[in-house]
Amino acid sequence: MTITATALPQLPFDRSLAYINGRWVGGSTGQTRDVENPAVGAVIAAVCESSAGDVDAAVQAAHVAFHEGPWVNEYSGAQRRDALLALATEIEQHRKELELIESINTGKPIVDVRVELDDTVDLFRHFAGYADKVEGRHIAAQTNARLEGYTVKVPVGVVGFINAFNYPLCLLAWKVAPALAAGCTVVFKPGPQTPLTTQYFAHLLHETEKFPKGVFNVVLGGADVGQALVDHDLIDKIGFTGSVATGKHVIRSTASTASVRATSVELGGKSPGVVMPDVDLDRAAQLVVSGCMSNAGMNCNALTRLWVHRSVYDAFVPRLKAAAEALVMGTPQDERTQMGPLIDRRQYERVLEYIRIGREEDRAHVLTGGQPLEQGIPGYWVQPTIFSNVAPTARIATEEIFGPVLSVLEPFDSLEEVIRAERKSEFGLAAGIFTRSHSDIARFTRGMRCGTIWVNNYNALYSYLPFGGFRNSGFGRELGYESFDGYLATKAIIDDVSF
């Protein structure tokens, strides 16, 4: 197999710089971080590493923009709506370059990145529509006719966002579109592996000339930069997406700052799927494989624990194997490619280590895959891998791997057994069931404690449905009205009308 190193297009901004207070600036650390094309493991950019001082400059800029600037204090909701609509159009007009850069920097198949771009444009349009619809309530005083009570919704303030690497542009839109629509100002840190489309986004936002300086800022780097943002006393809310371990650390940190702040954390998962005996087994096998292997398994809601009913287990497992082996891997910018590489060497080694752990499981065996894609090719490629007959408590069945690895559990006999086992899971992000039985669907959707439940499909998401977790998968909701409301705070006003 030959993987081609597609050239990065000419960028209309300096890819080494951060964006602070309406200007492109270098990091005052003087250090840079290499950014790779994971399909070939080659460096495509050296990006500045922001210092704590740079984070402070960005937060101060967002703080001034919030308390003194026109975005919050002069603009109407309709003006913010129009700014977001202009930004959506700007993104749409540059989507070809954005798609190519996103695909090169993440290794994601270009066909999948197009869906991400559709969603990104749609998200900005959707949340633009909320900007002029901020509503409070009138609440009559129950005992005193002289008093009028009502609530007013105001933007939360300066929001610090810390993003994961896996959906750089789309997850940015999940966060930034509702926050700006609500009237917040933002400091955004992308995942250190994938900063390029965040920088491009800042460039496009700047080009619209509709966002006053300081409203949106980008700082670049890894854990130290994220930590400086979390620790900054002028931050009013932290929105974090990443692993459970980092998320817990972020929660602890936000409680240690001089002023407490709102926090939402979108964390990992180990999402189960259930195949009941009454379904079209071929279709279900296709959906399970794409539910697990999409984005090479680097999906927080990937279907990675599969329950198959005993009566169809032996018929279903070969279908799964065939569906996984049919996945086309190759240069991500090739239209035919369905699965790309892992994001970096660290993730590649982590996934291979989990596959080694899986091989040591007593009764489990490798149904397909279990190896690097091909010896000698550059980049971070691992075969789509399926283990069958895995104990539900095995490490490969309970820990988030974040790679193309599916654990088909030992066969089950009753849906109650599945729900009982799943309610003990540390995670609660998503689940899926494949069945035609209305009563099984009802039992499953009522019984499961997780944020999203797919019935006879998997991974379908739309901008207006809230997304988030239970337990270690986090708290807070992204997408939908729930996320917009998360960037608003409520004031209660009590007025004595007889005065």
Give the catalytic positions in this structure: 266
Q: Which residue, 192 or 369, has its beta carbon nearer to ligand NAD?
A: 192
Beta strand segments in 128-257, E: 138-140, 147-155, 158-162, 185-189, 216-218, 237-241
Contact 366, 393 (CB under 8 A): no
Contact 102, 333 (CB under 8 A): no
> Which of 41, 168, 191, 428 touches ligand NAD (CB under 6 A)?
191
Q: How far is the CB of 227 from ligand NAD (least distance, A)?
A: 4
Q: Give alpha helix (H) positions in 151-221.
A: 168-182, 196-208
Verify binding: residue 235, ligand NAD, rule CB under 6 A. no
Footprint of ligand NAD on 200-229 (CB under 6 A): 222-223, 226-227
Q: Which residue, 69 or 242, has its beta carbon nearer to ligand NAD?
A: 242
Helix (H) / strand (E) element for 349: namely helix 345-359
Q: Which residue, 75 or 174, has its beta carbon nearer to ligand NAD?
A: 174
Verify binding: residue 249, ligand NAD, rule CB under 6 A. yes
Verify binding: residue 230, ligand NAD, rule CB under 6 A. yes
Task: Report CA dihedral (250, 401, 287, 371) to the nearest 10 degrees.
Answer: 150
Q: Which residue, 57 or 171, has its beta carbon nearer to ligand NAD?
A: 171
Verify binding: residue 108, ligand NAD, rule CB under 6 A. no
- Contact mark string toward ligand NAD, 362..401, x via CB under 6 A: --------------------------------------x-
Tell me how many degrees the CA angle 320-323-329 measures, rounded to the nearest 5.
135
Verify binding: residue 250, ligand NAD, rule CB under 6 A. yes
- The residue among 445, 465, 466 whose CA lies nearest residue 454 is 445
Verify binding: residue 458, ligand NAD, rule CB under 6 A. no
Q: Which residue, 90 or 400, has its beta carbon nearer to ligand NAD?
A: 400
- The residue among 166, 165, 190 whose CA lies nearest residue 176 is 190
Q: Which residue, 69 or 291, has its beta carbon nearer to ligand NAD?
A: 291
Q: What is the DSSP string of 3-47?
A: ---PPPPPPSS-TT-EEETTEEE--TT--EEEEEETTTTEEEEEE
Contact 299, 387 (CB under 8 A): no
Q: How many residues bind ligand NAD (CB under 6 A)?
A: 29
Footprint of ligand NAD on 81-100 (CB under 6 A): none
Amino acid at 84: L
- Contact mark string toward ligand NAD, 30..69, x via CB under 6 A: ----------------------------------------
Footprint of ligand NAD on 259-278 (CB under 6 A): 266-269
Helix, coil or strand: residue 381:
coil
Task: Report CA dihedral (189, 195, 200, 202) to the nearest 10 degrees.
Answer: 10
Q: How far is the CB of 42 from ligand NAD (least distance, A)?
A: 21
How many other CB atoms are there within 10 angstroms of residue 469's CB atom? 27
Q: Which residue, 269 or 370, has its beta carbon nearer to ligand NAD?
A: 269
Instruction: Kindly indicate which of the ranges 51-59, 159-167, 273-281, 432-440 contains the residues binding ligand NAD, using the contact rule CB under 6 A.
Output: 159-167
Instruction: Kindly indicate which of the ranges 55-63, 78-86, 164-172, 453-461 contains the residues binding ligand NAD, using the contact rule CB under 6 A.
Output: 164-172
Q: How far is the CB of 69 from ligand NAD (least distance, A)?
A: 26
Q: Which residue, 120 or 331, has its beta carbon nearer to ligand NAD?
A: 120
Helix (H) / strand (E) element for 105: namely helix 95-106
Contact 1, 337 (CB under 8 A): no
> Which residues lie below 8 Å from residue 188, measured CB to CB, with a gap of 6+?
161, 163, 172, 175, 176, 198, 216, 217, 218, 219
Verify binding: residue 477, ligand NAD, rule CB under 6 A. no
- The residue among 396, 331, 407, 400 whose CA lies nearest residue 367 is 407
Contact 236, 261 (CB under 8 A): yes
- Contact mark string toward ligand NAD, 434..453, x via CB under 6 A: --------------------
Verify binding: residue 402, ligand NAD, rule CB under 6 A. yes
Verify binding: residue 241, ligand NAD, rule CB under 6 A. yes
For ligand NAD, the binding residues (CB under 6 A) are 162-166, 189, 191-192, 222-223, 226-227, 230, 241-243, 246, 249-250, 266-269, 300, 400, 402, 429, 469, 474
